[in-house]
Structure 1
């Protein structure tokens, strides 16, 4: 074998050493502490007490409402009561949409009332309501392909029906029918828009609200969702082959701008306080229920996980940052404001995700991290496995609904998928109430968040956050 000169040999050894040291791992002591945190969380009711407090003391928290302000005050006080050592807010400004009343009915050929709810950013109808003939489409694609002459002056109805799924994948199309459908209908000259609710409760006469894709008020048309039984009723009437006329009477619409805030609590790191593990949920909710599963549970999971870490005898090496985001429901306003404000600091974000899919048990973890951090992810997965969480190493992570925006800036991110089999029975309805939260399932979520957050905070090395680091990521939440 040809001998290498000493200087070249030394350089080769240093290079090899550098490559080895680039791998991110988690010290055995941190793994042991994470296991203890996990087990402690399973028998701790902090998360449930937090979501009970929020839904009882504040209730529904529509963005821009008086309850929105009370929720912010509640969050600041709760972070402090839980022992977070740094609590602050960051302003978020967005359009204010208000709902006052909503009614609908079949006028002909079979007069009878319909249960509806107005959709976010829908304008109201003129005084006396809007009466027009209904034109039905089975899918969004069928509406896209429709001749505008068949739509002009009519109320468009799209009858897409969601099906239950553990990962909730049917909501992708359900939300598209709700957000894109009204915009397409308006562009074709429709007078109004109705959809079968984006929900899986077949027998509840309760409609599911949600936001539309309207951004220009001048191009918006009245839009509402029918409860599933009322959508069935409308479709039966249409099946007679006679013209069906529906009257919509919506009193809702934009009311200027409003400035709310993201509320942030931190357990400051002992060694690297400028580096953060980011977790959270969104503080706002729709106005129909009390926002327990969407997203009081997510806020509670993150707050409780941070508190458990803060209760440890020694500070975590890095900061645990819990963010209660503003106005997720009307278009990720708090999320986008946060990402814009902190984009230049993305390299300081160790790892992040938020919880916004109810309170069902977490069953799957996936991650978008640098290749040299996969060993650390395997260590996290091993700690979470006893909780029933399977690690899909081939699937990217997205960061959750709100932290997806920081992930888009380059933050390394997880997806922690909850069991959403029943979630869309209650999502965006009056039935989103505390009784839908199972305390033990919520505790499992807190255990997952506490364990992974602590291990990420203690890791030797980083997970790959950098500007544009995951630009080619195709994470599917």
Structure 2
């Protein structure tokens, strides 16, 4: 009786120290063996290329809110069903509808000549007949911020930010895109008539790179555009001559109310824990230039093809595989944010998440943000990926990808499969984003990597730490 009473008391009292260390997440040996077979099978599979070819040929560009937006959603639903997914559904996503009709620019003084530009998403249009104004140039955004407002008022601000370099990790893009996103609004606050910047791209083509900009108050938006790199070089040379420079800018574009699109979602049901799932996908929208092959038809194709390989196994993994074709990533992660808002209370059901949105070239590295007890399982995934030439850096975070960064922010454990972007930013957001830039062999390597990661995470014994608010400190420091 004394021992029984002592046991009862121990059960009732709270632990003065942790009662037991949390069990480490591990992946069974049989799953490792199956994943290795999946990897090898994926390297011979062309489902992903067929998807990219079909989407870019039958639909083409997919600007959010355009007629092709709806066509792409209908295409995606039909494709998911044809590929045998167990469930296919959509969830609404609303956003401002921005349209582009035409654009042109030219030097008026002192050396008249045309310039190649592309309006930025979110830009306002110019008055009918265009806008003629003097240019004021700055080497970077900080220099413009430091300028007195009266020197900027009524002029076309030009930020001659440095050209990007072709780098495997694409880290130059962050600085350039920051200028593109923030610059127009800051120029407007100083009274600028319009805003131009050097394209955020590593190429020397006479094609301008579009992309989004952001105005807190759309009613105060000003005309904003990017110059192709050769035209930015030319404008730099003209300005260095020391004479006043005037440009004519004509943009027929702008925001026309709101639009409701959708995230298109498909799932293969897990064999033992079907309510839990690996979350993956890419964004279905693209800019209206090019056909959106590398940004991001390839991402949708890679993750869909990897899921299909898993769905066709004789025995499914314990958890489900969920693929999302996200809406309107390009203008501000609207699809990812909508998914996070709708599913944040059940975020613990996401075993792990990884999105593909870095083109179609080889994955060279993997990183992750997971709970400490799941590091060993991430290491197991890394070992199966190693024959694909993929390194694992445990010191780097993993948000899961562009849209999934919003889902990671509300508590999803994130896995990042990092693609080589040496070529990507030559074509990104330009007319050159077309199917011929997709290398089938490199695309298959991507499918193999995603199939391995998805299958092993869905087969894990234990979890990777997803829970509401689980990675708030990690996301704050990214």
With structure 1 as the length reference, what TM-score do the two structures score?
0.96
> Aligned partners of 1:93 and 1:275: how far apart in 2?
27
Asked whether the 8 Å contact 2:286–2:330 carries over to 1, the reply is yes
Post-superposition Cα deviations, 1:16-60, rounded to whole Å, max 9, x if no partner, equal 998466110000000000000011001111111111111011110
> Aligned partners of 2:179 and 2:10: how far apart in 1?
63
> Aligned partners of 2:38 and 2:290: how far apart in 1?
33
Residue 43 of structure 1 is matched in structure 2 by: 44
Asked whether the 8 Å contact 1:283–1:325 carries over to 2, the reply is yes
Post-superposition Cα deviations, 1:321-359, rounded to whole Å, max 9, x if no partner, equal 000000000111111111000000111110001010101
> Aligned partners of 1:97 and 1:179: how far apart in 2?
15
> Aligned partners of 2:26 and 2:33: how far apart in 1?
14
Aligned pairs for 1:359-370 (under 5 A) are 359-370=360-371
Displacement of 1:445 in angstroms is 0.5
Q: Are 2:103 and 1:102 aligned?
A: yes
Residue 439 of structure 1 is matched in structure 2 by: 440
Evaluate the alpha carbon distance shift between residue 445 and residue 71 of structure 1 in structure 2; reply closer, same or farther with a 3 A threshold: same
> Aligned partners of 2:239 and 2:66: how far apart in 1?
38
Aligned pairs for 1:363-442 (under 5 A) are 363-442=364-443
Residue 225 of structure 1 is matched in structure 2 by: 226
Residue 163 of structure 1 is matched in structure 2 by: 165
Gapped regions of structure 1 (runs ≥ 5): none
Residue 93 of structure 1 is matched in structure 2 by: 94
Gapped regions of structure 2 (runs ≥ 5): 1-5
Displacement of 1:250 in angstroms is 0.3
Residue 129 of structure 1 is matched in structure 2 by: 130
Displacement of 1:81 in angstroms is 0.9
Evaluate the alpha carbon distance shift between residue 191 and residue 473 of structure 1 in structure 2; reply closer, same or farther with a 3 A threshold: same
Asked whether the 8 Å contact 2:207–2:228 carries over to 1, the reply is yes
Evaluate the alpha carbon distance shift between residue 97 and residue 6 of structure 1 in structure 2; reply closer, same or farther with a 3 A threshold: closer
Residue 196 of structure 2 is matched in structure 1 by: 194
> Aligned partners of 2:476 and 2:28: how far apart in 1?
29
Asked whether the 8 Å contact 2:351–2:464 carries over to 1, the reply is yes
Post-superposition Cα deviations, 1:283-330, rounded to whole Å, max 9, x if no partner, equal 000001000000000000010010000010012210100000000001
Task: Name the SS of the counterpart of 1:401 in structure 2.
Answer: coil
Asked whether the 8 Å contact 2:199–2:209 carries over to 1, the reply is yes
> Aligned partners of 1:17 and 1:247: how far apart in 2?
70
Displacement of 1:169 in angstroms is 0.4
> Aligned partners of 2:429 and 2:305: how far apart in 1?
24
Asked whether the 8 Å contact 1:368–1:413 carries over to 2, the reply is yes
Aligned pairs for 1:314-333 (under 5 A) are 314-333=315-334
With structure 2 as the length reference, what TM-score do the two structures score?
0.95
4+ residue stretches of structure 1 with deviation over 6 A?
Answer: 5-11, 14-18
Displacement of 1:215 in angstroms is 3.4
> Aligned partners of 1:21 and 1:308: how far apart in 2?
33
Asked whether the 8 Å contact 2:351–2:458 carries over to 1, the reply is yes
Displacement of 1:431 in angstroms is 0.1
Residue 249 of structure 1 is matched in structure 2 by: 250
> Aligned partners of 2:215 and 2:11: how far apart in 1?
63
Evaluate the alpha carbon distance shift between residue 17 and residue 122 of structure 1 in structure 2; reply closer, same or farther with a 3 A threshold: closer
Residue 464 of structure 1 is matched in structure 2 by: 465
Task: Name the SS of the counterpart of 1:262 in structure 2.
Answer: strand
> Aligned partners of 2:86 and 2:253: how far apart in 1?
41
Q: Are 2:339 and 1:338 aligned?
A: yes
> Aligned partners of 1:448 and 1:16: how far apart in 2?
41
